[in-house]
A and B are shown apart, each in its own frame.
Chain A
Amino acid sequence: MSTHTFDEMYAAPERVRDHYRNYARWLSQQPDDVMAARREEAEMIFRRVGITFAVYGDKDEDGAGTERLIPFDLIPRVIPAHEWRCMEKGLAQRVTALNRFIHDIYHDQEIIKAGIVPREQIVGNAQFRPEMVGVDVPGGVYSHIAGIDIVRAPVPGGQGEAEYYVLEDNLRVPSGVSYMLEDRKMMMRLFPELFSQNRVAPVAHYPDLLLETLRAVSPAHTAEPTVVVLTPGMYNSAYFEHAFLAQQMGVELVEGQDLFVKDGFVYMRTTRGPRRVDVIYRRVDDDFLDPLVFRPNSTLGCAGLLDVYRKGNVTLCNAIGTGVADDKSIYPYVPQMIEFYLGEKPILKNVPTFLGRKPDDLKYILANLKDLVVKEVHGAGGYGMLVGPASTQAEIEAFRKAVEAKPDGYIAQPTLSLSTCPTFVESGIAPRHIDLRPFVLSGQKVQTVPGGLTRVALKAGSLVVNSSQGGGTKDTWILEA
């Protein structure tokens, strides 16, 4: 792929893209000290409101304070509305196909019979849950909340134009939506005038859509379902988000210890005795959900939950076993899934991917390590990956050994030059690489609030945007012309 980078704001130095014109003019009129003061104000508010995430095993100089702020950048990432409309359709199409795929995998496995996805890719996958085979879930929806990571990179051999690519599907318990909402709230608080001058699509109704989605998939036994959010607890890194979403939806935030199973139903302990629970938006991984079936020492879940679930007396969102579809080894098949299940051409592109388990691909990967991004199939959070061009010879050789030892544990992709967006850094305003995670809700229908979470790699040249590795966030504007 070409080495030049696509900047979201500038088509060329001094030449601002159309959809950024208003903003750039406004920015140029803001005195430096005002922007600096706004940055401080934002940080103070985030801290006071307690919008923090916990870092595992992390201590400050006093041996305390394991709560950190995710850096927030004041310059928004702007997407023109026509681009968004196309992306939105592509997201709905992709998530619909993925849900069909998961249903198929746990039922008739047509896609295997058709020879599109090899059987060993499914049954040999640690994320495949035999417990889910033959289980029917309401509406056939498995991944009710999906976070699809999208990047924009130059078209190979193009004239500077760039294209959106799906980098990764997150179908288990994707997080980050609270930052999308809080970033917007912050921008509106700091710069109200920007929102009267620009037609930015609102996102604040996300919790309403989420609640509507969760209620739509409740078990048949009730018309007035009790919905709860299940959190691992306040020491989880995403605890703020769990509490935030429960509060915004007006539902209880429960922990495993608050739930119990009796006579085929799930109940929560309240001050007025047990109360039945119908839909659980769980932010706990599969492995920890039910100590009777999965990890026996887990205290984060509820004993007997899976049994109730399989009887259809409670709905889990997302369903158990969705990980089989967002695995990096399944990712390359998504475009074919779309054609297979929906009979449509994929709207969103995949990044070309080489699979370690294919002999030809493996040969190519090993020969081109220095140019590729190599990822562990089961890695997440930016860990267990090699960014070839940014690595030392020693790092590359270490990775070569790992790939040779277990080829099917790795995939590789060309090093995408993620698009950049101007960002406040120590030295002033400079371009930094960004990605985008829109959140797709599937209940009775498939819905997405306009935009998503834009993550930004704050280190110059870095392509790693994960908050656990020093990434920040930006407000994301879908802008009507």
Chain B
Amino acid sequence: MLSRTADHLFWMSRYTERAENTARILDVNYQTSLLPQSAGVAQVGWEGLLRISELMPAYQYQYGDVTPQNVLHFMVRDENNPSSIVSCLRAARENARAVRGVLTTELWETQNQTWLELQRLLKSKNFEKDPSEFFEWVKFRSHLSRGVAIGTMLQDEAFHFYRMGTFLERADNTARLIDVKFHAVESDFYGNASEADQELDFYHWSAILRSVSAFEVYRKVYRAVITPERVAELMILRPDMPRSLLACMNEVVNNLRAVSNETSAETERHAGKLRSELQFARIDEILANGLHAFLTQFLDRVNMLGNRISQNFLVPVAG
């Protein structure tokens, strides 16, 4: 298939996935901020959210102080912020439009409809009235788009590039989420002081789990109280947890193998190596060596993989 077409498909799914993950993290923060807690904790949450996507400087330049209303505005409807939900969904739709002939009718109409409805929703101010309902809508549009793709697309190259985009983006977003949320409590990671703190901890960890739809999953897998170690293990190493780093890398490796070409061997090696390391890692080792260092390195490698895929398939330089 045309390299440019593959490129558009790859980014269409990446942007859709990114919009979904942004909605997830915004929702969790919003829900958390409704809990009775010190203003300080909520503040840490909003700041962390901006740090996840490395957006703090851009935010401060435009808005100054971090307030919940401004962060929501910036991350949802600000078109100057390339990571806002509106920017991501616009980019997803523009990429879809550029290759609409390659998409199934259902998939194109789903993407187009999402964009049309988004404009209506933002105009109607419903979002300000009930942010959670809006975030839910973003999540479900992403589910729908993914489901329609899986349910209607021929499983050819186009499909594999589409899937690769989804999981590379999800790997990146999940890693950022873990990094920021664990960072927020780094000081007392292993300490459990008062009962009040423990209670606070419970809400903190359960919110993270909810943001990746894994609260029930956690209960089912561990049948035990929520501890940071297990949360980290679930989100990094469980192959059967669909948003974990290992699950994402499994999909990246498989889809990459399916489109393999003359120039991609080294890229496949890098992807396979990263996957194997996760496969055979243990959470206590990772934590002992420092979670932040581990995640920083993971993000670098995912970023490099994205660049390599781009060079091998999407924007080949060779004439």
Contacts and interface: CB of A to CB of B under 8 A. Distances in A.
B319 A50 contact: no
Given A234-B97, A269-B316, A271-B261, A50 B112 contact: yes
A239 B98 CA distance: 9
A390 B100 CA distance: 42
B3 A246 contact: no
A257 interface: yes
Contact of B109 (A49, A253, A258): A49
B262 to A, nearest CB: 7
A271 B157 contact: yes
Interface in B260-319: 261-262, 313-314, 316, 319
Given A270-B3, A271-B3, A271-B157, A234 B101 contact: no
Contacts of A274: 319
Contacts of A273: 261-262, 316
B100 A255 contact: no
Interface in A59-74: 65
B1 interface: yes
B3 A243 contact: no
Contact of B113 (A48, A243, A260, A271): A48
Contacts of A48: 109, 112-113, 116
Contacts, number: 64
B2 A254 contact: yes
A307 to B, nearest CB: 15
Contacts of B99: 253
A291 B116 CA distance: 38
Given A258-B3, A258-B4, A269-B316, A243 B101 contact: yes
B6 interface: yes
B44 interface: no
B3 A50 contact: no
B218 interface: no
Looking at chain B, what size class is its interface with the partner chain? Answer: 20 to 34
B34 to A, nearest CB: 31
Nearest to B319: A260
A268 B157 CA distance: 17
A50 B2 contact: no
A52 to B, nearest CB: 10
B116 A246 contact: no
Contacts of A246: 101
Given A50-B108, A246-B101, A247-B101, A270 B262 contact: no
A244 B101 contact: yes
Nearest to A63: B79
Interface of A: 47-50, 65, 233-234, 239, 243-244, 246-247, 252-255, 257-258, 260, 262, 268-274
Interface of B: 1-6, 94, 97-102, 105, 108-109, 112-113, 116, 119, 157, 161, 259, 261-262, 313-314, 316, 319
Closest A-B pairs by Cβ, 7 of them: A247-B101, A243-B101, A271-B313, A269-B3, A50-B112, A246-B101, A234-B98
12 contacts: A234-B94, A239-B97, A246-B101, A253-B99, A253-B101, A254-B2, A258-B2, A258-B3, A262-B319, A270-B2, A271-B161, A273-B316
